[in-house]
Structure 1
Amino acid sequence: MKSVRTKLDSYKLLPNWYRYLMSYVNLFLCSILVKTVVRGRQYIPKKGPYIIAINHFHIFDPALVAYSIRKPISFLAASDQEIEWYVVLAGKLYGFIPTNRTHLAPSTIKK
């Protein structure tokens, strides 16, 4: 079986405190740049883990989701695609967890 490895598979997460800080920078920037109306925020649990699945169309969509939730969150993202350097940078800031879709395992979620 051939191993499908990408450079994102060796990606290391930034420390939690840094991702937490960057999530508030994102909140600040989005509150200045974007005026949105969010419906259904009351259905998000106040405590404990949860999963939000989105189908997004643009690289800015995860930033807007983080702004809508108003909590520091992490994203699962496909690592088996070629992506530009600025998307990797944004992923580092938002807490992007690379996921190789050809080799999924229970440990993928535990990261």
Structure 2
Amino acid sequence: MSWYSFFRMVSKVVAWRLVRLEVAGKAHVPRKGPFLLIVNHLSFLDPILVAVACPRRVHALAKSTQFASGRFYAWFLPRVHAIPTRRYKVDPQVVRTVLRLLEAGEGVCIYPEGERSWDGTPLPLRRGSVRLLLKAGVPVVPCGISGSFEAKPRWSPSRHRGRVSLRFGEPIEFGVHDTRAEREEAFDAAAERIASSLARLSESPDAGAGGTGRPVSAP
């Protein structure tokens, strides 16, 4: 058994104990070939829930400080295919790593907001995340989470065992944009489409329709 398979098995137990998880749209995740999974970020529970719900292995971007937060994390995170990235900076090495994995037919998970929400509302999309999607030219699967903020807010040490919904949307094809000029030309439309997809999929099943857009921040 691989370490990722072990992590997924343990995550199922953790998720069962912490939340009542509802998953929809698994069929939208490609059975083979490269893809990017983009997920809104509300809680530290999100990577655990994604590992449980996603039918394929994904290499997830994680802030580099997590790798330096103790011996266990430094040992464990690489074994579950986490990719260290510097927050608020475009890291060329991370871009190369992601593109190499996609060329090998792997799936990569990105949280395009770059960090967890403090109050449960969507954060601006990072420009570097949008540019990476355009540069990669592979199917982009949007995934919306709702309820994980209420289960474990960023600012709270306590947890609440509530319902969490995780929904995969239909893959988005942006095409290949090899040059910087091409990516800049396609940027606004791509950012709007990503934002609207995440807003729709992360809407609570008990709530009405909400807004579709959000600002974009640097880098």
Taking structure 2 as the reference length, the TM-score comes to 0.35
- Kept in 2, the 8 Å contact 1:75–1:96? The answer is yes
Q: C-alpha root-mean-square deviation of aligned residues, in Å?
A: 3.0
27, 35, 38: which one aligns with 1:53: 38
With a CA cutoff of 8 Å and minimum separation of 6, indicate the structure with the bigger relative contact order. Answer: 1
Alpha-carbon deviation of 1:53? 0.8
TM-score (norm. length: structure 1)? 0.62
Partner of 1:11: none
Partner of 1:8: none
- Structure 2: any 5+ residue segments left out of the alignment? 102-219
In 2, the alpha carbon distance for the partners of 1:108 and 1:78 equals 15
Task: Output the CA distance in 1 between the equivalents of 2:10 and 2:56.
Answer: 12
Aligned pairs for 1:28-107 (under 5 A) are 28-79=13-64, 82-83=65-66, 85=69, 89=73, 92=77, 94-100=80-86, 101-105=89-93, 106-107=95-96
- Aligned-residue sequence identity (percent) comes to 26
Return the letter of the residue paired with 2:69: W
Which of these two proteins has the greater Rg computed from alpha carbons? 2
Any idea what the Cα deviations from partners look like across 1:44-92, whole Å, max 9, x if unmatched? 112223211112021111111111214432201232xx45837x83971
1:5-24 → structure 2 map (5 Å cutoff):
17-24=2-9
Number of equivalent positions: 93
Divergent runs of 4+, >6 A: none
